Amino acid sequence: MALYDVWAPEPSRVRLQLDGTVHELARGDDGWWRAPADLDRSPGHRYGFLLDDAETPVPDPRSLSQPDGVHGLSETFDATTFAWTDSDWKGRPLAGSVIYELHIGTFTPDGTLDSAIERLDHLVDLGVDLVEVLPVNAFNGTHNWGYDGVDWFAVTENYGGPAAYQRFVDAAHALGLGVVQDVVYNHLGPSGNYLPQFGPYLTDKHASTWGTGVNLDDAGSDEVRSYISDNTMLWLDTFHVDGLRLDAVHALVDDSPVHLLEELAIRTDHLEAVSGRSKWLIAESDKNDASLVTPREAAGRSGAAFGIDAQWSDDFHHSVHVALTGETTGYYSDFERLAALEKVLTRGFFHDGTWSSFRETYHGRPIDTERMPAWRLVVANQNHDQIGNRAIGDRLAATLDEGQLVIAAALTLLSPYTPMLFMGEEWAASTPWQFFTSHPEPDLGEATAKGRIAEFAKMGWDPSVVPDPQAPSTFTDSKLDWNELATGRHATVFDAYKRLTALRRAEPELVDPALAGVAVDYSEDERWLVLKRGSLRIAVNFGEDPRELPVESSAVLFTSDASIVSGRALRLPGHSVAVVR
């Protein structure tokens, strides 16, 4: 496969328009159309494909650059000419790391990859190991969460394009930060998706939340699977990314003998072996099924095993959120008692075959806590979904005091799992993070706004307060205000986050992945909880009143309140946390 070649079994004729000149392509038996070998393939040329008798060219499905947007011509880009400085970089293992999730468009005022580079020092100071970037592939419009992408190989020009992306990854590695790229393979955005004109990228065989499913097991699916697999290698190999976060893999319906996820895991492991750099995959799944992260060689003993390295666990978020806020509407209702948090901290999933009142069915499967290392679950007290999919995109900082925010941080950073922070939570950012779009098509914008209101019906939220996703202010209001960082309670919370990440690095027991060694004591009535990690105790008072906990200690390693001291018992003020030995 060379540049200007394209897989297009659907049309009967394919021509290449290159810098205004049209060239006929030759069709092979495999559905690939091949361009003449003597065409200029150097960087900077504009091109597109004319399908059948069409007079308007459409972009290359594998385009690396779309300077004029998803409806414009593609541009040739040579990713091999970048002068990387990370030759000594061997990657970052996921085990033991702290992840920081950010959205390029709202991370800085300028909302570009180059401006994000200027803030990477902040992440080093915070004690972060990995930067997880929300999707950056090309979408229609000027701003978006990133999950409406249609050109999966192209970095959106809104963020600076592919060259800026290379600069970002290189700069992160220079500071010792790994990069995780969020990718979406379960659907395509509603505007600018030309793939069905080329071939059977979609199928009616499987439906999804977004409509027609991606074709992973129907006629022509081999090339579609290769398209996805090659895209993972673009990020992991060509762009030097350390890991991928795979969006909503439960929507990747695949009845093939080898599931796409297993295929991606195999190829990622191969790249790791030949490159000498750590490479891994994280999956988002709402199935609560550890077979996703079970090593493939354990398939015989454990049943299905996909070999993905880690997966998100929403149950952790829900149990922490409810313990701190008392909110029990919608899917929070099952997590009302502290017993839910105890179960999540010791057994990984709350719903592990239990009844889910929100889903109205039994949900999940138990984790083998004797065998599965805890770092395979990625947890957060806030993330882009759990903030942005609230009615007004409000963070915990909008309703909780400093002590409660530090409790959330301590439970996340000192749990046995892989912790992930969402941009701005480390300083109790006052800005919301709302759902924003910029669909140029009025009908899409209207449909999106109505869809958001319908989604909130089961959560019991007031539809009248939901901001219009299409309003420019919904996007600009979601940008972080970096001027807050050094002021008031923002500085206090930031200091606590830094002390917690430092403690995590200093105490091996806090990164011990053995779930079998984790224990929890708690009082439902008095609203306190003690998480036991080896010789360490993370003691939490969720209530407003002071409590004396039956915890004997010889040293205090961390407190959210200066009045907490070691002794035969531990007296905690309301809304406070301490780590003792």
DSSP state letters, 264-302: HHHHHHHHHHHH-S--EEEE--SS--GGGGS-GGGHHHH
Shared domain for 520 and 502, answered yes or no, is no
Is 247 part of the annotated catalytic residue set?
yes
> By C-alpha distance, which of 326, 309, 318, 248 is closest to 97?
309
Shared domain for 131 and 224, answered yes or no, is yes
Looking at residue 448, its pLDDT comes to 81
Tell me the pLDDT of the chain averaged across its residues. Answer: 96
Question: End of a domain among 81, 110, 144?
Answer: 81
Tokens of 236: 């992991």
Give the global pTM.
0.97
pLDDT in tens, 150-209: 999 999 999 999 999 999 999 999 999 999 999 999 999 999 999 999 999 999 998 888
Tokens of 503: 């403690």
> What CATH number does the domain containing 153 carry?
3.20.20.80
Is residue 423 domain-resident?
A: yes
Q: Is 531 helix (H, G, I), strand (E, B) or coil?
A: strand
Neighbours of 414 (CB within 10 A): 24
Tokens of 199: 């071939």
Is 284 part of the annotated catalytic residue set?
yes
Shared domain for 537 and 436, answered yes or no, is no
pLDDT in tens, 258-306: 999 999 999 999 999 999 999 999 999 999 999 999 999 887 655 689 9
Shared domain for 77 and 123, answered yes or no, is no
Q: What is the DSSP letter of 497?
A: H
Is residue 436 domain-resident?
A: yes
Is residue 94 domain-resident?
A: no
Looking at residue 560, its pLDDT comes to 97
Shared domain for 416 and 558, answered yes or no, is no
Is residue 29 domain-resident?
A: yes
Give 299's Cβ-side CA count (13 Å radius): 10
d(CA 192, CA 135): 16
Q: What is the mean pLDDT of residues 99-119?
A: 98
Looking at residue 301, its pLDDT comes to 58
Q: Which of 60, 284, 289, 385 is catalytic?
A: 284
Beta bridge partners of 58: 49
561 touches 544 (CB < 8 A): no
Residue 137 dihedral angles phi and psi, to the nearest 5°: -70, 160
Shared domain for 74 and 114, answered yes or no, is no
> What CATH number does the domain containing 72 carry?
2.60.40.10
Alpha helices in 61-126 (DSSP H): 104-107, 113-117, 120-126
> What CATH number does the domain containing 525 carry?
2.60.40.1180
Question: End of a domain among 506, 532, 565?
Answer: 506
Shared domain for 273 and 193, answered yes or no, is yes
Is residue 90 domain-resident?
A: no
pLDDT in tens, 375-391: 999 999 999 999 999 99
Shared domain for 253 and 307, answered yes or no, is yes
Domain count, the chain: 3
pLDDT in tens, 418-465: 999 999 999 999 999 999 999 999 888 888 877 777 777 767 788 889
**Which domain covers residue 29, as residue numbers?**
6-81
pLDDT in tens, 299-332: 765 568 999 999 999 999 999 999 999 999 999 9
Looking at residue 300, its pLDDT comes to 62
pLDDT in tens, 557-571: 999 999 999 999 999
CB contact set of 535 (below 8 Å; sequence gap of 6+): 509, 581
Q: What is the DSSP letter of 135?
A: -
Looking at residue 210, its pLDDT comes to 83
Shared domain for 499 and 550, answered yes or no, is no
Shared domain for 45 and 123, answered yes or no, is no
Judge whether residue 537 has pLDDT over 70. yes
Is residue 91 domain-resident?
A: no
d(CA 457, CA 466): 12
Q: For residue 96, with 0-12 CB atoms within 10 Å meaning exposed, 13-18 middle and 19 or more buried, which class applies? A: middle
pLDDT in tens, 120-129: 999 999 999 9
265 touches 281 (CB < 8 A): yes
Q: Which of 75, 148, 182, 247 is catalytic?
A: 247
- Strand 99-102 to 74-75 pairing: unpaired
Question: End of a domain among 506, 536, 556?
Answer: 506
Is residue 395 domain-resident?
A: yes
> By C-alpha distance, which of 202, 191, 274, 261 is closest to 232?
261
d(CA 389, CA 435): 7
Is residue 96 domain-resident?
A: no
pLDDT bucket at 237, cuts 50 / 70 / 90: very high
Q: What is the DSSP letter of 476?
A: H
Shared domain for 255 and 389, answered yes or no, is yes
d(CA 273, CA 278): 8
Shared domain for 147 and 244, answered yes or no, is yes
